[in-house]
Amino acid sequence: MHDERQHSLFLRNSFRYAVPIGLVREVVMAQRILASPLAKPGFVGFLDFRSSFCPVIDLPAWIDMKVPEVPADPCLVIVLGVGESIFAIRIDKFLANAILEEPLGSSNDKVVDRLYRQDGEAVHRLDTRVLVDWIAKELQELREAQKEEIAVLAAPVEEAELIGFTLAGLNFALPIVDLTEVIEGYTVEPLFRVDPFLRGLVNLRGQILACVDLSAALGAPPRLLEEKNQFLVLQGDGLDLALCIDQVSHKLRIPNDRVSVPGEIMMGELSEYLRGIIETTEQRIFVLSGAQLFSSRHLAAYRE
């Protein structure tokens, strides 16, 4: 059992914060944070933490009522568990575990319940219940928005035939009816002053394809386009696309009732192209929609 006076201390924007050590699940280097579709002060996005989407907040941004940017590079977070709620706080550095013994008084910050002095420095002890209540309120708003953004994969047949592939370390699938072919070894001619979603053009046997990259929607940096890259060629709505992927994995035949809106919230721009999620004991597969890719707002300038 932890001493109730013992806390974990961390640094963010030159301020020292503390949380009860018993609430700390883990300090991890988050490789990727998925953006939230709604711009909220202090709300960074979501971290895939042990197969659950964990909200990530930034304390200085929340206190200043600013909308933080989603970090493009890996960042350090401290994951907390308060009751049944799990969330993460972005930090610059984990300092130490220590007993706070020198109180300085209360604080005017809405998220700080008391100030302490530790090694000559002021330490802000967080009121984790305030954080939990605030996060719960934000998540409820996001769930309501999510109902309008994610559709269940529905088809007139009992099974959906999908092509599986990997992208940015995640597992994806796409209905085979949306797929024309898989190609590899093609050069992408870059386009300038366009959204990162549209990386360039691919000349496929005289047919010009728009090269689409979902990296930004995943909170990842733009892909390095090389001749060894694989592409899924999609055709529809009077336009042909070459979707950048890591590698095709295998074909799947999945009952439609296995593809559904996730219990957890899938955030960010990716939700615009997502038809559903397949949950198994081993992995989570994001099912994309070819029609929703073709209707992307980022292709408007290209269509013109």
Beta bridge partners of 99: 6
Does residue 154 form part of some domain? no
Please report, for the domain that includes residue 201, its CATH number: 2.40.50.180
Same domain, 126 and 213: no
Same domain, 117 and 181: no
Does residue 1 form part of some domain? no
Q: What percent of the chain has pLDDT over 70?
A: 84
Mean pLDDT in residue range 187-198: 84
- The pLDDT mean for the chain works out to 81
Q: What is the pLDDT of residues 166-179, one digit of tens each?
A: 988 889 999 888 88
Residues in contact with 137: Cβ distance below 8 Å, sequence separation at least 6, in sequence order: none
Does residue 243 form part of some domain? yes
Q: How far, in Å, CA of 282 to CA of 120, rounded?
A: 49
User: pTM for the full model?
Assistant: 0.54
22 lies in which domain range?
Answer: 6-149
Does residue 59 form part of some domain? yes
Mean pLDDT in residue range 1-25: 86
Same domain, 291 and 171: yes
